[in-house]
Amino acid sequence: MATPCPVRHIAFIMDGNGRWAKKRGMPREYGHREGAKAFQRVVEYCGEIGIAYVTVYAFSTENWKRPEHEVKAIMQLFTEYMSEAFRVFAEKGLRIRFIGNRDRFDADFVAEMEKLERDSAGNEKVLNVAFNYGGREEILQAACRVQKQGKELTEENISAALYTAPCPEPDLIVRTGGEMRISNFLLWQSAYAELYFTDTLWPDMREKDVDAAVAAFRKRNRRYGGV
Ligand code: FPP
């Protein structure tokens, strides 16, 4: 019998779409489209190997600084995925949650997000899609919420007010594309996460690359500050 996957929660910084497209003489938007296919492939595979929580960084609060046509293309892709891939995932047993700030999206878009969340709320496995997400913004809004509720500012109360609550913290954060930084992703939740960096560009990400990240995780010695 295969050993159970030791990773309960995996998170991905899906980097390298633009470079992947450039290498092929194609526009960046093409890289995002292929990146979205990789996203489907990877999320599906994580479920197959028994990972209960997957979080992906799809659009950051800083990504609005990109050229307008690129932002538009990502929004268009996302809209398509709302009625296609996300819905299929929901039907296949994933609970879809959108994490991030929704203030910049129009009402119809938010309504679609909420519908998907409602329709999939009974599913056990979780897919968190970070969209217009920033780790600092998340911590700030959590602190404000705690204060508004008249509660004490404790680590426990802040954790419970994060967008990702009540998901456990990620065990493993994978960043593709060769950069070694966290880029404002899951800042609070990554306190004890293992980090894995690979040069693979996101659109090239396949099952074997997930296996390699999990294999590296198996070799880590997690001490949580202890000895
Ligand atoms: C980073 O690559 C990628 C993004 C900012 C967008 C991520 C979006 C996707 C992978 C598509 C997922 C879509 C859905 C529907 C979930 P980059 O553009 O920064 O690449 P570069 O570093 O090579 O320029």
Termini Cα distance of the chain: 32
Q: Is the pLDDT score of 149 beyond 90?
A: yes
Reported as a single tens digit per residue, the pLDDT across 18-75 is 999 999 999 999 999 999 999 999 999 999 999 999 999 999 999 999 999 999 999 9
Q: What is the pLDDT of residue 221?
A: 87
Q: Please tell me if the CB atom of residue 16 comes closer than 6 angstroms to any atom of ligand 1.
A: yes
126 φ/ψ angles, rounded to the nearest 5 degrees: -120, 135
177 Cα: distance to centroid of ligand 1 (angstroms): 10
For residue 212, is pLDDT > 90? yes
Is residue 89 within 6 Å of ligand 1 at its C-beta?
Answer: no
Q: Within the chain, how many helices (H) and strands (E) appear? A: 8, 6
What pLDDT was estimated at residue 1? 55
For ligand 1, is residue 203 a contact (CB within 6 Å)? Answer: no
Q: What is the mean pLDDT of residues 191-210?
A: 98
Mutate to test the pocket of ligand 1, among 13, 17, 23 (most ligand atoms within 8 A of CB): 17
- Of 13, 14, 34, 79, the residue with max ligand 1 atoms within 8 A of its CB, to mutate for a pocket test, comes to 14
pLDDT at 93: 95
* Mean pLDDT of the 118-129 span: 97
3-state secondary structure of 57: strand
**Bridge partners of residue 208, in order along the sequence:** none
Full-model pTM: 0.96
Confidence tier at 163 by pLDDT (50, 70, 90): very high
Query: Among 167, 214, 202, 174, which residue's Cα sits nearest to residue 188?
Result: 167
Burial of 122 (0-12, 13-18, 19+ CB in 10 A): exposed
